[in-house]
Each structure stands twice: as structure tokens, then as C-alpha cells.
Amino acid sequence: MLSRKIRVVSYVFFFAALLGCAMKSPKDEMSSFGKTPERKLITDMSFEDTPTNTIIRLKSTGVLSYSSYILTNPIKLVIDINDSILSPGIKDELEIEKGIVKKAKLHEEKQPAEMTRLEIDLDEIVPRRIETVGEDLVIDIENPKESESLKMDLETIKESLKKGVDEKLGEIEAGEESEEGAYAPVEEDQEEKYEQQVKEDVKYKGEKISFDFQDASVEDVIRLIAEVSGMNFVIEKGVIGKLNVKLNKIPWDQALDLVMKINEPQLVAVVDNGIYRIMTLEKSKTMRKERAEETKAKREEEEAAVAILPLWTKTFRLSYAKAKDIEKNLRNFMSSRVKNGDALITIDDRTNSVIVKDIERNIGEIEDVIKNLDKPTPEVKIEAKIVEVNDKLERDLGIQWGGKFIASPVTGNATGRQFPNTINIGGAPVNPDTKSFLNPSPGNSWLANFPVQTATSGLGILLGNVDNTFNLEVRLSALEDENKAKILNKPELLVVDNEKARIQVGRQLPIVTVDEQGKQSISWKDVGIILEVTPQITADKSIFMKVKVEKSDKGEDVQTTEGQQFSIDTTTSETMVMIKNGDTAVIGGLYFTNKVNFKQGTPFLSKVPIFGNFFKASSKAEERRELLIFLTPKIIEQYTVLKDNSN
């Protein structure tokens, strides 16, 4: 009876277990089966340059898993970052050009494995360190740029020494050798030895090591180098070989490179998460191939799992970004079913919406990306002060003098001779319509006539005898005009980040043009002060500005095939500045200076010293214009404004 009850209870538990398995949803099974590792998003790539190192830093949304190796023709440091993709809009190439490091380039690899690859172009193989710092991947490459300066210093020393030798040899030949003794020539061998030492120190920076091995196992040599370096080494299976090598005081990293190159079979060092893995060249190739095949098989398995998952459709209406602008970036987050057309993404321009059809997981990723991209673009308020200073000074000094002398029977002072019996001496007559207020006294005329046309002051002297047969008249005229002006404009405007703002203070001049049929048309040319500013907000809230200033005005009239036209005098300045938020940048140096010295006089007589001042007039004019521009950019915190309004 008891055994029968036990059997009944067993049957009940058995059927309950079957019922529980049957009630498990297919969606849960498929979600578990189709689960794939989360892909990390690489958001930024930057580099930092120091006197001895170049540091490249990758920022991401999670801790990165990677492997690295060296390519030798051409020399490249390659880092494969697993389960990662590039953020939309990331700068994927850096032109470094510092010492032996040329450039770094990021790109996504779909075949044979889905990953991100970083390639760093090098001139030669140098020590490097790769490590993860939080969610950042840091590549530290020894790259001492002092090598160039050291070489320059060495060349300077050599030139100085050679110059000293030549000077001393010249003294010896002339018998002027100093009392201190003969000059010691420089040994060329010492110079070459020093130069070679400089080159070695520049290339390798590890702790120096010395050893002497004969028919020694390559494993023992590598272990010795590992002890000296303090780094973690793993010697893979298949690393064999005998070495005969003697090295004296060279960096351990140089010794390691040499050992791997001369060993048979050739070895390579693969840095994996800071650990040096020593293996044969063939094994490294096989390992990369196996890893690629494994990743490919894994991807195919994931694609097969994704292929049976249900599709979802969701519409995202954007507020700030343009749907057509971010469509290309969103496609990078679509599942593999986009290949056969099951999953798709479309846009609707009228409502500025993105329509996505894909599996639930990828739609969630796309939603997160849209939240990060659909944000208002920061704005910059630019406060400008444009100050134009004009300073003009003009000085004129003129002279007029003349008179008359009459000797005739009428005046009672004839010469008493047959010829000349009458003498009448005076200056040339002056047109009364043009110089009425400067005309001489009645009966006189000017011998030297160089007045100031718009004189503001003057002095006149008239001398004559009783019977008015001889008189002399002198007039001095002068003008000094000083004009100072200061024009201030204070425009303000709001501009979106990375967009150009244009400020114009001035006027428009008409320009007449004639076409081939003889028809005239008028176009308008902007003149005055034209200021163009393109701000860019940096990560540390500084503002990088590209500034262009143009100062133009109407110039002299010129004769063209279309008739008389005017020229335009233009001064342009372009610059790039970086300042902190709220600080002020000053742009100056736009000067215009005009000096004119004008002299007018009687030929020959005006050149006579002292006496020539009675036969000439002088005019001096000096004009100076200066333009100063003060720019104060301020970042408009839109998110703060929205938050305050919501509160």
C-alpha cells in the first residue's frame, strides 16, 4: 500500500514538471538563446603629446576587451577591440605627425569578425604600453621628440668646434698662437660615438641590460629580459631556438626586439591586456585566423537566433535633429535582418520622424541613440564692440608778395634818358573772380602768389612812398586743422555652435555694369566694417573662434571700358582664437596711415637757401585710422533655461 502511494506521488511531480516546461514561453527561450554580448560604443578618440611619449586615448561606454600586434611592412600597431562600434560623428582619423607616430585611424570590421580596429602608423617599432583606465583605452607610445633638438644641438656643437679649430689654425699659421699651448683638435670618433648614443637613447627607453650567451635557450634569454623589465611575460608552446648573443648596456626592449628577430623560427610579442605573449610568427597568424573564424561562427549563430525573433515597429518624432541627417548613423544599429529586407528604417520629412522596424533589442538601442542625438545645438551669444578712431592733422603755410615801381614823366621821376624814359615794374595780374579776397591792393599785382586757399589766419604788410611810385606788399596765410573722431558700434547676436555669424556696419555702393548687348545693370557692393565669426564650443566649455574682419571704403575714381568707375580700398584680417566662456578677445592692428607733404614754388628761386622761402608755399597733412574689435562670446545654457521653466 505504501509503495503504491509513493508511485502516485511520483507521477504527480513528474506531470507537474512537464506542465511547467510546457508553460515556458517561446519568447523567453528565444530571448535567452539569441542573447549576444552588449556592444560598447566608442565615443571619442584623442591624443596627448609629451616630450617623450605620444598617448592616444579612446573613450567608450564600457570596459573594452582588446588584442594587439605589430605589422612590419609598413610598420603599424594594430589593436582589435572586440564587441564595439563607433559612435556616430566620431572623428575616426588623427593626423598626429609627431616624431615616429604619423597617424591613427579607427574603422569597423565586419569580416571576418564584427569589431573595431585601431591602426597606428609608425616609422619604427618602439616600446609601448596598452592599458584600460576605467572605460578608457590608453595607448602610450614612447616617442621622444627631443631627438631632433638633440641632433640640432649636436650639429651646433660640431659647427662651433670646427669653427674654433679653423680660427686656431689660422692663428698658428699667422704665428699668433696663444701662450696657453697648442690647441687640442676634436676627435671625430668621439663625435660619432656621441651621435650614435643619442640615436639609441631616442629609440628605446627601457632599463639597460648586459648579457653574454653561447648556445643558450631562447626561453632562458626571454626570462632574463622579463626579470629586468618587471613586465609580465608568457612564453607560448613552440618557442624554441638557440642563441649566441653578447649585448652590453642596451635597453631591455631593444634586446627583446633583437632576440625575436634573430631567433629561428622568428618570434613575435603580442601584447594582450598588458601581458607580453611570446610566440612564433606562424602561431600568431594561426591564432588571428582562428579568432576570426570563431568570431565569424559566433556571428552566424547570433544571426540565426535573431532571424526567428519577432519584429517590432516604432516611430520616433524628432524635435531638434533632422531625420534625414541621422538616418545613416541609425542604420549602424540595425540588426542583421536588415540585409534581407525584414528590418528597415525610413524617414518622413513632413513630420521629421524616423520609422524603425526591427527586433525589440535593437529598437531599444536605436531609441537610446536618438535620445543622445536629438538635443538642441548649443548657442553662443557674441557681444561685439567695434571702435574706429580717426585722427587727421593738416598744416598749410602760404606767402604772397608783390608791388610796383613807376618812373615816368607823369609821376615826375622820369629817367631823363631817351630809352628807357619810362619804367613800370610789377607782378602778373590775378583773376579777381578766383582770388578776390586775396587780391593785392589797387594798382599792385603779385610777384609770388602761393596763398592758402582756405586760410583761417593771415598777416599783411604794405609799404610805399609819398607819391606812390614805389610800394611793396606782403601777405602771409596759414591754416591748421585737427580732426579727431571716435565711432563706436555695439552689435550683439546669437549664433548656433559651428555656424557662421556675420555683422556689417557700413553702407552699399552702386556698381554699374554693361552686358554684351549694351544693357546697363546696377549691383550693390557692401562696404564698411564686415565681421564674420564662427564659434565652436570645446569639451571644457572654452570657445574656439574663427574670425574674419574686413574694412573697406570707396577709393579713387578709375577709368574702365564701361566708363568711369570707383575703386574700393579694402583691408582684411583673418585669425583664430580660443578663449574661455565670457572672456574678451581684442583684435587690433588694422591701421591706415596717410602722410602728404606738398610744396609749391617758383622754379629755381624757391631752391635758394633762406631767400627761397619768399618764393614757395608748403602743406603737410597726416591722417591715421585705427580699427579695434572687442569680442565677448558667452555660451547659452539651454538646458538650464528649460529646467528653470519646468520648475
CATH of the domain at 242: 3.55.50.30
Tell me the mean pLDDT in the region 368-395. 84
Residue 441, pLDDT above cutoff 90: no
Contact 407, 422 (CB under 8 A): yes
The residues pairing with 514 across neighbouring beta strands, listed in sequence order, are 520
User: In the prediction, which pLDDT does 285 show?
Assistant: 85
Q: How far is it, in rounded angstroms, from Cα 446 to Cα 615?
A: 11
Residue (of 629, 624, 552, 554) closest to 592 by Cα position: 624
User: In the prediction, which pLDDT does 159 show?
Assistant: 61
Shared domain for 240 and 137, answered yes or no, is no
Shared domain for 473 and 490, answered yes or no, is no
Packing angle of the helix pair 323-331, 360-373 (nearest 10 deg): 140
Shared domain for 459 and 535, answered yes or no, is no
User: In the prediction, which pLDDT does 316 show?
Assistant: 93
The contacts of residue 619 (CB under 8 Å, 6+ apart) are: 394, 395, 396, 397, 452, 596, 597, 598, 599, 600
Shared domain for 231 and 366, answered yes or no, is no
Shared domain for 452 and 556, answered yes or no, is no
User: In the prediction, which pLDDT does 352 show?
Assistant: 92
Residue with cell 504527480: 12
Tell me the mean pLDDT in the region 59-70. 85
Shared domain for 67 and 113, answered yes or no, is yes
Residue 592, pLDDT above cutoff 80: no
Shared domain for 407 and 489, answered yes or no, is no
User: In the prediction, which pLDDT does 428 show?
Assistant: 63
Give the chain's radius of gyration (CA, Å). Answer: 46
152 within some domain: no
pLDDT in tens, 456-508: 777 778 787 777 778 888 888 887 777 776 767 788 888 888 889 888 888 88
19 within some domain: no
Shared domain for 556 and 632, answered yes or no, is yes
pLDDT in tens, 243-293: 888 888 888 888 888 888 888 888 888 888 878 889 888 888 888 888 888
The residues pairing with 119 across neighbouring beta strands, listed in sequence order, are 78, 105
Shared domain for 531 and 621, answered yes or no, is yes
Chosen domain end from 267, 283, 302: 302
| Element at 623 (helix H, strand E) | strand 616-636
545 within some domain: yes
Residue with cell 596765410: 477
Give the total number of structural domains in the chain: 5
- CATH code of the domain covering residue 348: 3.30.1370.120
Tell me the mean pLDDT in the region 212-233. 87
540 within some domain: yes
User: In the prediction, which pLDDT does 81 show?
Assistant: 87
Shared domain for 228 and 277, answered yes or no, is yes
User: In the prediction, which pLDDT does 16 show?
Assistant: 45
Give the range of the structural domain holding residue 351, as residue numbers without chain letter: 310-375
Residue 156: pLDDT band (50, 70, 90) is low
Chosen domain end from 340, 375, 410: 375
Tell me, yes or no, if the pTM score tops 0.85.
no
93 within some domain: yes
User: In the prediction, which pLDDT does 374 show?
Assistant: 87
183 within some domain: no
Chosen domain end from 271, 286, 302: 302
Residue 575, pLDDT above cutoff 90: no
Residue 318 CA neighbour count, 13 Å, CB half: 27
Tell me the mean pLDDT in the region 207-223. 86
Total residue length of the chain:
647
User: In the prediction, which pLDDT does 315 show?
Assistant: 93
Q: Which has the minimum average pLDDT: 162-171, 294-303, 512-521, 537-546?
A: 162-171
The contacts of residue 323 (CB under 8 Å, 6+ apart) are: 347, 348, 349, 352, 353, 354
Residue 205, pLDDT above cutoff 60: yes
pLDDT in tens, 318-364: 988 889 888 888 988 888 888 888 888 999 999 999 999 998 888 99
Tell me the mean pLDDT in the region 445-459. 77
Tell me the mean pLDDT in the region 59-77. 83
Q: Which has the minimum average pLDDT: 185-189, 210-214, 215-219, 287-291?
A: 185-189
Q: Which has the minimum average pLDDT: 60-64, 201-205, 444-448, 468-472?
A: 201-205
User: In the prediction, which pLDDT does 471 show?
Assistant: 82
Residue 103, pLDDT above cutoff 50: yes
Contact 341, 310 (CB under 8 A): no
30 within some domain: no
What is the chain's mean pLDDT, rounded?
77
Tell me the mean pLDDT in the region 187-193. 44
Cell of 613: 622761402
Residue 583, burial from CB neighbour count under 10 angstroms (0-12, 13-18, 19+): middle
User: In the prediction, which pLDDT does 574 show?
Assistant: 86
Residue (of 252, 258, 146) closest to 204 by Cα position: 252
Phi-psi label, residue 639: left if phi above 0, alpha if psi -120 to 50, beta otherwise: alpha
155 within some domain: no
Shared domain for 447 and 490, answered yes or no, is no
Shared domain for 571 and 476, answered yes or no, is no
